[in-house]
Amino acid sequence: MIEVYKAKGELEAQIIKGMLDSYDIPCILRSNAASSVHSFVFDGMGEVRVMVPESFAEEASTIINSEYQPDSPSRQEEE
C-alpha cells in the first residue's frame, strides 16, 4: 500500500475514500490513535493517511488532484 493523500482529519479522509470507491479503487485509511480522541490536527497527530495498492497509486492521485479541491471558493460558500 502506498500513501496518495494526507487528510487533515477523518471527515476529509472519508470524502477522499468515497471518491476513490466510486472509481473502484481499493483504499484504506490509517491514522494515529489520538485522532479519534481529538478532532484537531497538531503536529500531524490528527492526520489520516489515504492508502491504495501501488498499482492504483497513479490513477488515485490523478483523481484526487483533478476532482478534490478542499479550499475552493464554491466549497466554502456552501458551508
Residues 19 and 72: beta-carbon distance below 8 Å? no
Domain ranges of the chain: 2-68
Q: Which CATH class is domain 2-68?
A: alpha beta
Task: Identify the CA nearest to 11 among candidates 27, 33, 32, 35.
Answer: 35
| pLDDT tens, position by position, 56-72 | 999 999 999 998 887 65
* Cell output for 55: 498499482
Q: What is the pTM of this model?
A: 0.72
Q: Say whether pLDDT at 26 is over 60.
A: yes
* Cell output for 32: 494515529
Cβ neighbours of residue 37 closer than 8 Å, sequence gap 6 or more? none
